Chains A and B, each alone.
Chain A
Amino acid sequence: MAITEETVKKVAKLSCLELNEEELHKMKQQISDILDYVEQLSKIPTEGVKPTSHVHGVTNAFRDDVVKESLPVEKVQKIAPDFRSGSFCVPKIIG
């Protein structure tokens, strides 16, 4: 299935990725090729077939409601690109 550059742009935006013209063009071609290839799935009858969610069909894994030690804020700070007043700092959120 051919995909338009417009769609690639939209999907890139959704993915928070920025593509320049060249990347966009190449991406459109490559994604189209892959979509063409996966198109073969459409011919397989799957009515009533349950989609796999977990390969072994297992269910219910829980933990008890127990509080354990949190990560010390110094360790959080250490990995953060910009940390001020005990918080992660980002360019102003609008809206």
Chain B
Amino acid sequence: MKDFEAVIGLEVHVQLATHSKIFAVSSTKSGAEPNTFTDPVTLALPGCLPVLNKRVLDFAIKLGLATNCKIMRESILARKHYHYPDLPKGYQISQYDKPICLAGHVNVRVGGDVKRIGLTRIHLEEDAGKSVHLDAAPISLVDLNRAGVPLVEIVSEPDIRNAEEAGAYMRQLRQIVRYLDICDGNMEEGSLRCDANVSVRKIGATEFGTKVEIKNLNSFRYVEKAIDYEIERQIGVITSGGTIVQETRLWDDVSGETRSMRSKEYADDYRYFPDPDLLPLIVDDDWIDNVRKTLPELPEQAYRRFTNTYKLDPYIVELLTEEKLVSSYFDQAVSLHNNPTSIANWITTELFGRLNKEGTNLTECPVSPENLAQLVKLIDDGTISGKIAKTVFDEMFETGGSPAHIVETKGLRQVSDSGLIREAINAVITANPEQVQSYKSGKTKVFGFFVGQVMKDTQGKVNPTLLNELLKKTLDS
């Protein structure tokens, strides 16, 4: 095992979040009744012609810029031919020798290191429909709602060496497309799909081994498990004297194996040629600049900023930058009250914990960044204690109310009046002479008992620092 290394390249399909299809006017929404989002172009009725949805190109350029690609000034849509019932035209419109983006890279964090993974290209293409194969009857049913939904395919260089890197790369891509707001990143629904090309070779070898393509990797976990499995399988074949067959394999999560796909009924010969129905795509500097202006801060940049400017813990930053929604929530809160560490903690522990428990997410969060900032501010200026703050937060989450208002109406303001605290202390001391005795006899552990009693009597509103100080003074006197 140790003598081998794996060489992995990923082809990731990203479904673009446009309203209408790439070449047709039907909706791209998922979940509709079968064949309700079709039109003459989607059905490839005789005489129909495709016209490119401009937003698709804008999105692809955006992605190209975000992944350090070269945006090609001229790119061509080409036809890729194969027969399959869910491919209405008998060809897929895609890009071949002139894709929209070339030669980019993304930086991926793996185990504390940063690894650069090269992108060979990003190209536009259309999705196919869906086929359902019935068990009960020798038929398949074809739904063309998804046919013509815009995709980009991101092809990586064979820079990936193991499953962990592959998983990290996929997560990074998902994070980027979600930051860019060009894809919902939902892997279960197929918005992000991955095929992996895996080969192994002896360490030190310069030639690549025979590669195997693994399809159907529709979760991060599948990507990682399938690659792990495949690497082991290939090494096993080689070390036992066999050779790797170039083939397409399918990940089967039930058995935890990749298995060879039955050889296709039709030989592959895609017969690419430029689609004569569509014109060359010419993108000039102005266009690219305009798209560039719409680019948000990217996760990598946010990560760097949060780490460097706020000196936050890397793990916390990871959580804060996973989604743009979170990082901008954080930014907004920090802009209102400058305590990034505390705000970051509140977001990643209390807020996430609560959202998780409720099974919801930040888009539907009742606690606004303004209110969270205010809450931390109330702690920082001593208006409420950290403990009370949790009660206030719960109330905020339930009602969406502002913490200041909750503190006022519920009378949760922290008591920092020494006179009032002394009164409370005295009451507790008077009521518990035995405990006072044991304290005085040296059993200082009962100190905590007094704190608890005072807190209990005051509903926890007493400033804990002040209480400690005054209680100690009183008991020691």
Q: Could you tell me which A residues sit within 8 Å of B by CB distance?
A: 10, 13-14, 16, 53-54, 58-71, 73, 76, 79, 84-95
* Known contacts A65-B20, A65-B55, A87-B132, then 19 further A-B pairs from the complex at CB < 8 Å, ordered by chain A residue: A13-B267, A53-B280, A62-B51, A62-B52, A64-B53, A64-B54, A65-B19, A66-B19, A67-B20, A68-B26, A68-B39, A70-B38, A71-B39, A84-B139, A88-B141, A89-B141, A92-B137, A93-B131, A95-B265
With a cutoff of 8 Å between Cβ atoms, the chain B residues found around residue A76 in the complex are 35, 38, 43
**B 82-98 contacts with A by CB, 8 A:** 83-85
**Does B36 count as interface, using CB distance less than 8 angstroms?**
yes
Per-position binary interface string of chain B over residues 48-84, scored 1 when its CB falls under 8 Å from any chain A CB and 0 otherwise: 0001111111000000000000000010100000011
Q: How far is the CA of A1 from the CA of B83 in the complex (A)?
A: 28
**B 256-296 contacts with A by CB, 8 A:** 261-267, 269, 271, 274, 276, 278-282
**Does B142 count as interface, using CB distance less than 8 angstroms?**
yes
Does B276 lie within 8 Å of A87, measured CB to CB?
no
**Does B134 count as interface, using CB distance less than 8 angstroms?**
yes
With a cutoff of 8 Å between Cβ atoms, the chain B residues found around residue A91 in the complex are 138-140
Does A54 lie within 8 Å of B27, measured CB to CB?
no
With a cutoff of 8 Å between Cβ atoms, the chain B residues found around residue A73 in the complex are 33, 35-36, 38
List the 7 shortest-distance A-B pairs measured between CB atoms, nearest first: A87-B141, A68-B25, A62-B54, A95-B262, A65-B55, A88-B142, A86-B34
With a cutoff of 8 Å between Cβ atoms, the chain A residues found around residue B314 in the complex are none
Does B139 lie within 8 Å of A92, measured CB to CB?
yes
Does A85 lie within 8 Å of B34, measured CB to CB?
yes
User: Smallest distance from the beta carbon of B182 to chain A beta carbons, Å?
Assistant: 12
Does A67 lie within 8 Å of B25, measured CB to CB?
yes
Does B26 lie within 8 Å of A63, measured CB to CB?
no
Does B142 lie within 8 Å of A90, measured CB to CB?
yes
A13-B266, A14-B266, A71-B39 as given contacts; A93 in contact with B34, CB under 8 Å = no
User: Smallest distance from the beta carbon of A6 to chain B beta carbons, Å?
Assistant: 13
> Which residue of chain A lies nearest to B134 when distances are taken between CB atoms in the complex?
A92
User: Smallest distance from the beta carbon of A94 to chain B beta carbons, Å?
Assistant: 7
With a cutoff of 8 Å between Cβ atoms, the chain B residues found around residue A85 in the complex are 34, 141
With a cutoff of 8 Å between Cβ atoms, the chain A residues found around residue B84 in the complex are 93
Does B36 lie within 8 Å of A70, measured CB to CB?
yes
Per-position binary interface string of chain B over residues 16-50, scored 1 when its CB falls under 8 Å from any chain A CB and 0 otherwise: 00111000011100000111111110010100000
Option from A63, A87, A92 in Cβ contact (under 8 Å) with B34: A87
With a cutoff of 8 Å between Cβ atoms, the chain B residues found around residue A59 in the complex are 74, 279-282
User: Smallest distance from the beta carbon of B148 to chain A beta carbons, Å?
Assistant: 11
> Which residue of chain B lies nearest to A82 when distances are taken between CB atoms in the complex?
B139
Option from A10, A66, A90 in Cβ contact (under 8 Å) with B139: A90
